[in-house]
Structure 1
Amino acid sequence: MCELFVDRREELELLRRAYSSRRKELIIIYGRRRIGKTRLVKESVRGVRHIYFFAEETLEKDNLDNFKRIVARGLKNKLIEKAELTWEELFEILEENEYVVIIDEFPNLIKGNKGIVSKFQKIFDRSKRLKLVLTGSSISIMESQVLGYKSPLYGRRTLSIKLRPLKFFHLKEFFPEKSWEELVRIFGITDGIPAYIEEVKFRLESGEKLEEVFQPNKMLFDEAEFLLRSELREPGRYFKILKAIAFGNTKFGEIVNYTGLPPSTVSQYLENLRLLHIVKEEYPLGDIEKARNRRYYISDLYFTFWFRFVYPNKTQLLEFGYIEDFEQEYNRYLGFVFERVGKEFLIEAGKKDMLPFKITNVGKWWKKNEEIDIIGINEKEKKVLFVEVKWEKLRSRDIEAILSSLKRKAELTRFKGWKKYYGIIAKEYRGRKGLVWDLKDFKEVLGDL
């Protein structure tokens, strides 16, 4: 299967500029597994002399021996492989030959020996023109032990890239023949994770239906469980909390009630999940960030999908290969997914000057039982756009009712005296124009992404 390399233009340009610079470079690239870090670095060194080394979860000596073999092969020098050489000596050889050095999954070296970070600090400090790239999937290790102020490497990085999922609109490059509605359905499972998008692409092109891509013995059936068990101790309790959030229990009290766990336990576990970037906190845009206003969301849609559909239905999937009433429940879930898509759409529309003003911040808003799906603001100009997102087919009277409700809720926000605008992003609508968009408008806004 030929993998597409989509977007990442900005990251590629930054990396290639760093490789050709006249100074030494310490480049840090990190992000969740399957996000495309390895593919990015390999793409970035096309036509560039380099050594690529994947660090295994093993003893430091084993990794050093493997690195030595790769260096010997890269430099076509068998004497290097036979010699007893340290990390420092191998890097001196590579620097003399002006090689870009990539250590993929650097956290595995740290797990083998925490002192390895100090060794790499000395290697970098002694070098004059070394180009060193360190990548990692363990975001917590990369942020604390590589980028953190207590790290021996602190202050030495010349470039750091936290690789994020592709945007929804990039799915069009993987599936040019699919409609925007079909892409939303795919995005609800894959998010913007390249490996998952490629997996679904392969399955669909092989004749499978979307509801078959997460059946037993396929990658998406147990991928989430494998990844999370590698990060979490006592996964049972964490899974209970993540399931609660996936089913829409986003307030702290709701999570406690759903799980039946003590509040102190839920609080600690949520903090651990946040540090691991599995869960994120959100607050109403424009309001003071108070604990009582906080809501929790799973950071990516694949994990959200897995805990909402696969995890609670594993027995049924293993026995029968399908989830009863999946289509009905999945369509309900897509309302949440479409809010994510709507936010991206609004940001891109703003970049193309298709909104009444330039948006500088975007978020959600809620107060008690009232919610507004998207708010876009310009603090300096005191302008605000309130938007409702509906995964539905709307008629003119539906639109009028939604806008009337939206105006009422807008008066409850803190944006008193601001110039207010109101809009709707729908799956499909008939009638009124203005600041009302549906899937037909996506091509105009996103045509050249």
Structure 2
Amino acid sequence: MSPFVDRREELKALKERLTSDKFELIVIYGRRRVGKTRLALEAVKGLPHVYYLAVEGDNLRHFRETAERVFPEVKYSREDWEGTLHALKGKIIVIDEFPNLIKENPQVLSLFQRAIDLDLSNSKTKLVLLGSSVSMMTEKVLSYKSPLYGRRTGSMKLRPMDFFSLREFFPRASWEELVEVYGMSDGIPFYITQVELPFWEWLEKELSSPVSFFRDEVDFLLRYEFSEVSTYKRILEAIALGKTTPKEIRDFTGLRHSDISPYLRNLIETDLITREVPVTEKRTSKKGRYYVADNFLAFWFRYIFPNLSRIEEGTFSAEEIRESYDHYLGFVFEKVVRQFLIELNRASKLPFRFTKIGRWWYKNEEIDLLALNERKKKALFVEVKWKELSEMEAQGILRDLERKGELVGLDGWEKYYGLVAKKVTGKVELGEEGWLVWDLGDFKELKSLE
């Protein structure tokens, strides 16, 4: 098992709850592969506990057998959920993939509610429920309609780790190679731990392996949430290939005459896509665009899905991915730079502290990142380039950014203009002209800010 990396805040918070002197019902959810199980197991390490991974059927019997191995007294309890939970009163109970219990018997929610209300709530029992079906955990466990509503004492939606966490997995890698890895893995622990460096050698080997996780991974993810996998896959493919408006998605998928809104809403609820509006607009703006939520899905639909037959035949090479990878990383690097700016903001290393950050667009004009402090009326416009730039090229980009900045309409605001690229020549000279300029060489600065 690979060493446990990052998640320090989440681990600390969870351990505090597990060692409290009162009843706790903690819900941890998030998409598959994001590290929920590993986090829970790390938190209970050294503490007497029952860990049970729910399956598709006969869960009560399996759970009792698992619990008996740790706490033999369970054997003498009544053979139902309430009797079993009573026998574990005061103990730590971790149930992974809790949605499988609900699928097997929807009444299990009411049975757990009854056990909590009548027996466990006045004890030191710690009940931790994990789930990868985001939609089911949200609807059946967390919503106000759920029998468990009002019983939980804490919930945690686990998201991918940030880009800078990859440094702990690959301490000797260059920042450039870390961006390349992030373009495939995002901050999702399962994918990160599959990678070996050098990245391109590993990818070539993985693509040629008959047991590669690439082949069935997305079907595996989608089947867990949806029955109509092919339609969702087509929509995800459209978005991954840059079709970001409902009309573009409809045209690409051929679903012109059907309402795709429910599909998009379901994909958002399950954390597979996000909807963004220009940062200066309200969330209800009709200018919304849709983006694939994580880099792995974007990578898979761009490079793996169209080439599955060739991968099976052994005629597809990682070199073909490498030919267009820098172009693909342009969008990935925007995500990285957003995280970089957020870290600088936390450390007060920018001209002002921003309160929101996002993209901006209008018709054919786009600004990669725009950071705002609306109360103080200050704005930072940032262009992001995954390439090496000369001082003259950087000047041209920054002057064009100033032109686009005027289109945003922030009259009377104090404005700053910045550029982040793979490498920029003449950063000092550009800084003397009043611009903010960073490249990969500045990423190491974040370590000193921790």
Aligned to 2:442: 441
Q: What per-residue deviation string (whole Å, max 9, x for no partner) do you get for residues 331-350 of structure 1?
A: 11000100000100111111
1:381 Cα offset (Å): 1.6
Aligned to 1:104: 96
Q: Secondary structure at the match of 2:5?
A: coil
* Range with greater deviation from structure 2 (439-448 or 367-376): 439-448
Q: What per-residue deviation string (whole Å, max 9, x for no partner) do you get for residues 92-117 of structure 1?
A: 1211xx31111111111000011111
1:40-439 mapped onto 2 (5 Å cutoff): 40-58=39-57, 62-77=58-73, 80-81=74-75, 84-95=78-89, 98-126=90-118, 127=120, 128-129=122-123, 130-201=125-196, 204=197, 208-215=201-208, 216-290=210-284, 292-319=286-313, 320-322=315-317, 325-433=320-428, 434=431, 435-439=436-440
Overall identity of the aligned pairs, in %: 48
Q: Secondary structure at the match of 1:219?
A: coil
Classify 1:68/1:309 alpha carbon distance in 2 versus 1 (closer, same or farther; 3 Å): same
* Range with greater deviation from structure 2 (139-148 or 20-29): 20-29
Q: TM-score, normalised by structure 2?
A: 0.93
CA distance in 2, matches of 1:207, 1:421: 38
CA distance in 2, matches of 1:292, 1:277: 21
Q: What per-residue deviation string (whole Å, max 9, x for no partner) do you get for residues 103-155 of structure 1?
A: 11111100001111111111111221221111100001111110001001112
Q: What per-residue deviation string (whole Å, max 9, x for no partner) do you get for residues 400-429 of structure 1?
A: 111111111111214222111110110111
State whether residues 347 and 449 of structure 2, in contact with CA within 8 Å, keep that contact through their aligned partners in structure 1.
no
State whether residues 316 and 323 of structure 1, in contact with CA within 8 Å, keep that contact through their aligned partners in structure 2.
no
For 2:390, the aligned partner's letter is R
Tell me, which stretches of 5 or more residues in structure 2 are unaligned? none
CA distance in 1, matches of 2:263, 2:161: 28
State whether residues 406 and 422 of structure 1, in contact with CA within 8 Å, keep that contact through their aligned partners in structure 2.
yes
Q: Secondary structure at the match of 2:381?
A: strand
Classify 1:49/1:448 alpha carbon distance in 2 versus 1 (closer, same or farther; 3 Å): farther
State whether residues 169 and 446 of structure 1, in contact with CA within 8 Å, keep that contact through their aligned partners in structure 2.
no
1:65 Cα offset (Å): 0.8
Q: Secondary structure at the match of 2:216?
A: helix
CA distance in 1, matches of 2:329, 2:205: 17
CA distance in 2, matches of 1:57, 1:415: 56
1:74 Cα offset (Å): 0.7
Q: TM-score, normalised by structure 1?
A: 0.93
Q: Secondary structure at the match of 1:146?
A: helix
CA distance in 1, matches of 2:402, 2:77: 75
For 2:389, the aligned partner's letter is L
CA distance in 2, matches of 1:447, 1:288: 36
State whether residues 27 and 130 of structure 2, in contact with CA within 8 Å, keep that contact through their aligned partners in structure 1.
yes
Alignment RMSD (CA, Å)? 1.9
State whether residues 278 and 359 of structure 2, in contact with CA within 8 Å, keep that contact through their aligned partners in structure 1.
yes
Aligned to 1:37: 36
Aligned to 1:20: 19
For 1:20, the aligned partner's letter is T
Q: Secondary structure at the match of 1:120?
A: helix
Tell me, which stretches of 5 or more residues in structure 1 are unaligned? none
1:325 Cα offset (Å): 3.1
Q: Secondary structure at the match of 1:192?
A: coil
State whether residues 384 and 419 of structure 1, in contact with CA within 8 Å, keep that contact through their aligned partners in structure 2.
yes
CA distance in 1, matches of 2:71, 2:293: 42
